[in-house]
Amino acid sequence: MTDNWIVAELDPVRRLRVLAAAVPGAVRHREIVLPVPVDRVWAVASDLERELPRLLTTVRGFRFTGGEGERLRAHAVGRFGQRADFDVVLRPGWCLMRSRFVLGAMAAVPEGEGTRFATLGGFRLPGARLLSPLTGLLGDVAIRRLAEHPALQD
Amino acid sequence: MEQQTGPGGTSATGIDPALVRAAQQGDPLALADLMELLTPYVGRICGPIARQDGPDAAQDALIVILRGIRQLREPAALLGWARTIAVREAVRVAQRAGRTVTAPLDELRAAGDPQLATDVEDALARLTPEHRAVLVLRDLEGVDESTTSSVLAVPLGTVRSRLARARQSFRKVWES
C-alpha cells in the first residue's frame, strides 16, 4: 500500500529558496520568469566560462581547472585582478559555486512555456547581510543582462 | 523498535557526520549536499500529509531543518529530528491550505483497480492532516505509538483513536 503514497518533489528553484533562507551570508536571492523554454535559458546560463563575465560586473574571467561529473573546480579573476578558486556543482537546472569568500548559485525550471530562473549570491563573511544593498544591485543587473541576452531573444 | 530508514534508502548512519558538522558551520556546499540527501526523506513524509501542498511543506521543512542544524548536538539524531520537523510542517501547511475533503468513502474504487493509486490518494484526502500524520508515522515510517505521541505533541490515546479512524478509512478502500 505504501508504494502508492505520493512523494513531495522539490524542484531546483524550490531548493534554491531553501538555501537562500538557510545559508549564512546568502543575501541576494532573485527570481524571474522568462518567456523562453528552459533548455535555451540553461544553455546560456550554464556556459559559465563564456557567460559569467558577461552577466556579472565583478567577474573578468572564469575557467574550469578540474573535477569530474557534476563536481568541478574553477578559477575566477575579478574586475580588479583579484583571484579565487571555486568548487562548482553543475547539473541541468542547478549550479552552485563556492569560493573561500563568495557564494553563487542559479536554478531553472519550466513554467508554462517559459522558465522560472533564480539566482542566489552572498559573502561567506561575518556581517555579510550588511552588504545586502550592494549584492542586491549586482543581482538585479545579472538578471537583467540574462533577460536581455541576445541568445534568448526571438 | 522503530524503523530507521534514511534518505535514498540508506541506513540512519548513512549520512556522514563530517557532512553534518560542515553544514553546522555554514558551508554552502555541505548545506546543499545535506539538503539533497534529506529531500527524498522529507518529501516522503510531506507528500501524504500535505498532498498537493507537499512541495510547499517540504520546502518549509527543509528551511527549518537547515536553519536549525546548528542546534543538533548528535549527527546520528538527524533523521529523527528531521522527521519531527517534516511532520509538523506538513500538518501546519495542510491545515493552512484547508483542503480536507469530508465526503463519505462510498464512492472509492475497489482494490486491484488500475486507479488504485488514485484511490489511496482519495482515502488520504478524506482524512484530516492530523490523521494523515498518524498514518504516515505508524504505517509508512514504522514509528511506535509513544514516539508518534511525542512527535505530534498529543496524548497516546489520541494517537490510537486517530490511527483507528485512519486505518478504517483505508480498510473501506480495500474491502469496497
Q: What pLDDT, on the 0 to 100 scale, is given for residue B171?
A: 74
Q: Do residues B14 and B87 both lie within one domain?
A: yes
Q: What pLDDT, on the 0 to 100 scale, is given for residue B4?
A: 41
Give the nearest partner residue to B39 out of A2, A10, A23, using CB atoms: A10
Q: Do residues B171 and B85 both lie within one domain?
A: no
Under 8 Å between Cβ of A119 and A30: yes
A22 contact residues in B (CB cutoff 8 A) = 31, 35, 62-63, 66-67, 69
Under 8 Å between Cβ of B111 and B171: no
* Choice among A35-49, A60-74, A126-140 with the minimum mean pLDDT: A126-140
Find the mean pLDDT for residues B83-87.
96
Q: Taking all residues of chain B, what is their mean pLDDT, rounded to a whole number?
A: 82
* Choice among A11-15, B70-74, B126-130, B145-149 with the minimum mean pLDDT: B126-130
> Residue B93 — very low, low, confident or very high, per pLDDT cuts 50/70/90?
very high
Q: What is the pLDDT of residues B7-37, one digit of tens each?
A: 443 444 478 999 999 999 999 999 999 999 9
Q: Do residues B95 and B113 both lie within one domain?
A: no
Q: What pLDDT, on the 0 to 100 scale, is given for residue A46?
A: 95
Domain boundary among B99, B117, B138: B99
Q: Indicate whether A126 belongs to any domain.
A: yes
Q: Is residue A21 within 8 angstroms of chain B, CB to CB?
A: yes
pLDDT over 90, % of chain B? 55
The CATH number that applies at residue A141 is 3.30.530.20
Q: What pLDDT, on the 0 to 100 scale, is given for residue B169?
A: 76
The CATH number that applies at residue B87 is 1.10.1740.10
One-letter amino acid identity for A154?
D
Report residue B3: phi and psi, to 5°. Answer: -75, 140
Q: What is the pLDDT of residues A10-53, one digit of tens each?
A: 999 999 999 999 998 887 889 999 999 999 999 999 999 999 99
> Residue A82 — very low, low, confident or very high, per pLDDT cuts 50/70/90?
confident
The domain tally of chain A equals: 1
Q: Do residues B2 and B89 both lie within one domain?
A: yes
Contact yes or no for B31 and A19 at CB 8 A: yes
Q: Do residues B69 and B135 both lie within one domain?
A: no
Q: Is residue A87 within 8 angstroms of chain B, CB to CB?
A: yes
Q: Do residues B109 and B58 both lie within one domain?
A: no
Q: What pLDDT, on the 0 to 100 scale, is given for residue B15?
A: 87
Q: Do residues B8 and B84 both lie within one domain?
A: yes
B44 contact residues in A (CB cutoff 8 A) = 5, 7-8
- Gap from B90 CA to chain A (nearest CA, Å): 10
C-alpha cell belonging to residue A61: 574571467
pLDDT higher at B69 or B102:
B69
Q: By CA distance, what is B42's nearest residue in A?
A: A8
Q: Which domain holds residue B139?
A: 101-176
Greatest Cα pair distance, chain B, in angstroms, is: 54
Contact yes or no for B54 and A8 at CB 8 A: yes
> What is the C-alpha end-to-end distance of chain B, expressed in Å?
33
A14 contact residues in B (CB cutoff 8 A) = 55, 58-59
pLDDT higher at B146 or A101:
B146
- Residue B25 in 3-state DSSP? coil
Partnered with residue A116 across adjacent β-strands are A33, A109
Q: Do residues B59 and B94 both lie within one domain?
A: yes
Q: What is the pLDDT of residues B155-176, one digit of tens each?
A: 999 999 998 888 887 777 656 5
Domain boundary among B99, B126, B145: B99
One-letter amino acid identity for B98?
G
C-alpha cell belonging to residue B83: 522527521
Q: Do residues B16 and B66 both lie within one domain?
A: yes
Q: What pLDDT, on the 0 to 100 scale, is given for residue B167?
A: 83
pLDDT higher at B118 or B156:
B156
Q: Indicate whether A8 belongs to any domain.
A: no
User: What single-letter DSSP state applies at residue A150?
Assistant: G
Q: Do residues B161 and B172 both lie within one domain?
A: yes
Closest Cα to residue A133, out of A118, A148, A123?
Answer: A123
Q: Which domain holds residue A69?
A: 31-152
- Residue A98 in 3-state DSSP? strand
pLDDT over 70, % of chain B? 77
Q: What pLDDT, on the 0 to 100 scale, is given for residue A5?
A: 78
Most confidently modeled of A102-116, B113-127, B134-148?
A: A102-116
> Residue A134 — very low, low, confident or very high, per pLDDT cuts 50/70/90?
low
Chain B positions contacting chain A at CB under 8 Å are: 26-29, 31-32, 35-36, 39-40, 42-44, 46-48, 50-51, 54-55, 57-59, 62-63, 66-67, 69, 116-117, 120-121, 124, 136, 139-140, 170
Give the alpha-carbon dihedral of B108, B110, B112, B114, to 10 degrees. -50
Q: Do residues B94 and B18 both lie within one domain?
A: yes
The CATH number that applies at residue B142 is 1.10.10.10
Find the mean pLDDT for residues B108-123.
57
Residue whose cell numbers read 560542515: B22
Q: What pLDDT, on the 0 to 100 scale, is given for residue A85?
A: 92
Q: What pLDDT, on the 0 to 100 scale, is given for residue B117?
A: 59
Q: What is the pLDDT of residues A88-127, one digit of tens each?
A: 999 999 999 999 888 899 999 999 999 999 999 888 766 5
The domain tally of chain B equals: 2
